[in-house]
Structure 1
Amino acid sequence: MTRLRHRTPAAIIAMAAGVSLLGLVPLGYVVVTAIATGAPTLSALVFRPRVAELLANTAGLVLITVPLCALVGVAAAWLVERTRLAGSRAFGILLVVPLAIPAFVNSYGWVSAVPSLNGLWSGVLVAGLSYFPLVYLPTVAALRRLDPAVEESARSLGVPPLGVFLRVVLPQLRLPILGGSLIIALHLLSEYGAFAMIRFDTFTTAIVDQFRSTFNGPAANALAGVLVLCCLFLLVGESGARGGARYARIGTGSARPAGRTLLGSWAPIAYLFLGVLVALSVIVPFASVARWLVSGGLAIWSDRYLLTALGQTIGYGLVGALVTCLLAFPIAFLAVRFPGRVARVLESINYVTSSLPGLVTALAFVTVAIRLMPALYQTTTLVIVVYLLMFLPRAIVNLRSGLAQVPPGLEEAARSLGRHPLVAFSTVTLRFVMPSALAGASLVFLGIVTELTSTLLLAPNGTRTLAIQFWSRVNDIDYVGAAPYASLMILLSLPVTYLLFARSRSERTAVNSI
């Protein structure tokens, strides 16, 4: 046992506990609001036809979109990683690009191309094309890590290729498929802009409309409570489906890639599938944005708010990423260096909070600020706090991965040579963790750049992020004016998206923290 483990990191525990307790505010808000509303009023607000309609819409969206995304994501990952298709690497990159296109921008692209889009199936189309990479990426990473010896053994016993996939490969993909599917389902519960644009009502669109039109607290809060219950239902369901099974490469020797299948007469169908998928998820939104850019000419780039919006978006992204990584570090440090019940509880609180729709988190802090700390209402500080709680796991996962690769003995050796503990930590541990910290910060930055709903509710008067300006133009049916803001959001997101692709092809990946 090293000296590091003999010491109780009281300051680190205090910082981690402070952040985690802050994460309990949204859940506490839902519970306290429900109690304050009273059972009769709450019952009348929840058990009404409108709520049943919203529940049917939201449930139908999740039940149709998630399996489709899982099917498309797994099929695309297998074609890219396990077949001899020419151009598979190019397809591999193109299939990640939809992550750089915010769902509400994707919806804007499709509405521009097909103005009559509306309703459930339009929501499934837009959401499926926006979110299938969340299954595709972790599946690619898992396929690259699977032990090919298991598949070779099955084939040597006479199992046909389809049987090998269904009986050997697919069970080993259960964790990435379930993890990606859960993330997609949570995104569907919290998405506002994409569905509002195609006039498809979900809990989130109804809550935002209720809150912004009448500031009706009880009605909006009742809907938020139902939304939280849906969220918790998904979390429990995914945990039960995941079970306790784990799959790992066994045996000695160096890892080697699995063999690739020659598709033969099936190759044209595979190319058609991948080509159509890329066309629908990438080319359509890009072409729509390009169309409006060309239609507007150079004049649309002279919009007086464009540079302001770009600067504010980058500013929010950089400050939010920095604050999130700094406050995530104590939690990740405890999880790696001092694992135990306290560390697990503090870490789990943040995962549960971040899984709630950002809208609920925003509503909670709006209510708390108005009632208890009015000076914080409509301030940048409040916006950063909500960003912190929404995107904290993205930083924790990456920091934890980086810290786990740094042996504590290296820092102890530096101390034994007379270096101050802080100097030893900075020159040894921090240097090794920096790449993971930058990856986590990039993911947080991506989330903030493309965040719309919470920013609409929380941003101070005069705030003009790219997302807010884009949404303002779209609401005014000014699709030409919205195009520059859409293109800048995509350009800011593309480098981080490529980072995700690169990390998905390495041994360690943080894709499931999206």
Structure 2
Amino acid sequence: MTTTAGVGERTRPPLLLAAAAALAASASLIPVVYLAVRAVEAGTEGFVATLLRPRVLELALNSVALAASVTATCLVLGVASAWLLSRWRLPAERTILLLSALPLAVPSYLVAYGWLVWSPGLNGFWPSWAVLTAVCVPYVTLPVAAAWRGSSGDLEAVARTLGRGPIRSFFSATWPQVRGAALAGSLLVGLYSLAEFGAVSMLRFETLTWGINASYSASFDRQQAAVLALVLVALALIVVWAERRARGQAVTRVARPLPRGVMPRRWLWAALAVVLAAPVVSVTVPVLGLGVRLFSAESIRALDLPRFASAVGATLGLAVVGSLLVLVFALPIAALTARYRDRLSRGIEGIGYLGHALPGIVVGLSLVFFGLAVVPWAYQSLLMLLFAYVVLFMPRAIGSARSGIAAVAPALIDVSRTLGDTPAASWRRVTARLAAPNIAIGCLLAAIAIMKELPATLLLRPTSVHTLATELWTRTAAAEYGGAAPYAAALLLVASVPAVLLSTIRSTAREDES
């Protein structure tokens, strides 16, 4: 893998690099291709009959309704929060901004657990909507706030001077400048909501992910499980297509932003309520519930120390090995697409990003089928579980590594080659060293995601392997809220380690740039 001298003169990527990237990207195709094969095994009539079952339609409608409502709510609340954070001066701004991003660090099933501690009777659509909305709002708030701070305020000021009210001025002048960021965030919310399994299962709202797991675990109905999985993949791809169609052409203008105003005191509490609603629902209330349960006699009595230590060790081990393996697969694709933008490179990159639209339970189920039929020796092995992590989280590492490699000037690589370095030595001494912070960020993002991953781990893990996520889900499903508390607390602490490292690397990178 290399970006060789004279890369700027090449019109085609090196054959070895292209082959390595294509091989890495093909990993994402295995689950979808084999799932399609399993779904059509019974023939067209059987496939259509399964697809038109009332139960399948009901689960699909539930998934669409939940994803659409969560996405719409997050879009409105996220844009409103970003507007308040970007256009108004609020007290303790840095603290409020940090709090607004906190929900990203908490798994949705842990939030559901925290609310079930307070109210065990919660179930159905509305609790699921509230939990997912609170967790997903930052996906819209953060990119829109960043876009708003870098956008021009001239057009909005002109619109106001022409007599247009604040709402008309916003939609005619400001919205086109932040629309791309808002829709990109909404895309992540929609995909997250469709793929959600843990929270909706705990809150007993039956969606496609719940139906896939039920079809597999209860009656092992492979055909219905495969059809449900394909329906879920199709919905995810429709969301991606719709986001790209709605995004349009980005509007960029170099001009001064509008000055930030001082929030009137009579509106301050309402503004804080909008910005802090998501952190309170997704972090404050669940953490308080966790604390109540963690120090209760029930929790202490139910704690099995050897099993608890084993779950912590398995979570850390899978995160370290899995993130490194993700990096191995992501680097060839990142190196190729950072330097070459021909049709082949774009196609390989698109395939590599396919895992972004594949829910964890779909990847897990397809690899169950694939393992039983093609590689039975790998079924319920750590190898198969790690491969699922590669498919699911490779996109996170590709994007970060690609941006770091693209930032390395080709002239530096040319100089290295003229001094006698081989392509591999040039990659090691120049490209890898300068892109190391971004490569490390991609690795840490994958590690955090692996620690929190639930559905694929439930389906593919060896029977002797238990992670903090699977232990939390198992105990909560059995209404053992006291016994689940230590695992929930440990998951928060363990996941905070790569998160702290991630913030440290980003801070160091900013200091180096300055």
Asked if TM exceeds 0.5, the reply is yes
- Tell me the amino acid that sits aligned with residue 250 of structure 2: R
Give 1:151 deviation, angstroms. 4.1
Report the TM-score, using the length of structure 1 for normalisation: 0.92
Give the corresponding residue for 1:279: 280
Say whether the 8 Å CA contact 2:405–2:435 is kept in structure 1.
yes
Measure the CA separation in 2 of the matches of 1:272 and 1:17.
48
Measure the CA separation in 1 of the matches of 2:323 and 2:434.
19
1:259 aligns with 2:264: no
Measure the CA separation in 2 of the matches of 1:32 and 1:373.
16
1:53 aligns with 2:55: no
1:139 counterpart SS class:
helix
Flag the 1:130–1:174 CA change in 2: closer, same or farther, 3 A.
same
- Aligned mate of 1:454, from 453, 456, 459: 456
1:137 aligns with 2:158: no
Deviations 1:294-353 (A, max 9, x none): 214655666221121111111111111111112111111111212201100011012223
Give the corresponding residue for 2:326: 324
Give the corresponding residue for 1:220: 225
1:34 aligns with 2:34: no
1:20 aligns with 2:21: no
Q: Which moved more, 1:433-442 or 1:29-38?
A: 29-38
Give the corresponding residue for 2:84: 79
Give 1:88 deviation, angstroms. 2.1
- Tell me the amino acid that sits aligned with residue 263 of structure 2: L
Unmatched tracts of structure 1, length 5 or more: 509-514
2:296 counterpart SS class:
helix
- Aligned mate of 1:392, from 384, 391, 394: 394
Give the corresponding residue for 1:512: none
Give 1:361 deviation, angstroms. 1.5
Measure the CA separation in 2 of the matches of 1:507 and 1:239.
31
- Tell me the amino acid that sits aligned with residue 421 of structure 1: P
Say whether the 8 Å CA contact 2:444–2:502 is kept in structure 1.
no
- Aligned mate of 2:406, from 404, 407, 416: 404
- Aligned mate of 1:246, from 227, 242, 250: 250
- Aligned mate of 1:202, from 207, 212, 221: 207
- Tell me the amino acid that sits aligned with residue 286 of structure 1: V
Give the corresponding residue for 1:187: 192
Say whether the 8 Å CA contact 1:144–1:505 is kept in structure 2.
no
Flag the 1:201–1:17 CA change in 2: closer, same or farther, 3 A.
same
Matches within 5 A, 1:357-372: 357-372=359-374
Give the corresponding residue for 2:182: 177
Give the corresponding residue for 1:166: 171
Flag the 1:258–1:324 CA change in 2: closer, same or farther, 3 A.
farther
Measure the CA separation in 1 of the matches of 2:69 and 2:501.
30
Flag the 1:48–1:280 CA change in 2: closer, same or farther, 3 A.
same
Say whether the 8 Å CA contact 1:140–1:504 is kept in structure 2.
no
Measure the CA separation in 2 of the matches of 1:175 and 1:506.
29
Measure the CA separation in 2 of the matches of 1:276 and 1:3.
53
Give the paired residue count: 503
Give 1:425 deviation, angstroms. 2.1
- Aligned mate of 1:126, from 127, 131, 137: 131
Give the corresponding residue for 1:268: 269
Measure the CA separation in 1 of the matches of 2:302 and 2:322.
29
Identity %: 35
Measure the CA separation in 2 of the matches of 1:501 and 1:170.
30
Flag the 1:506–1:144 CA change in 2: closer, same or farther, 3 A.
farther
Say whether the 8 Å CA contact 1:145–1:507 is kept in structure 2.
no
Measure the CA separation in 1 of the matches of 2:20 and 2:391.
14
1:3 aligns with 2:6: yes
Measure the CA separation in 1 of the matches of 2:374 and 2:489.
40
1:334 aligns with 2:339: no
Matches within 5 A, 1:348-497: 348-494=350-496
1:308 aligns with 2:321: no
Unmatched tracts of structure 2, length 5 or more: none
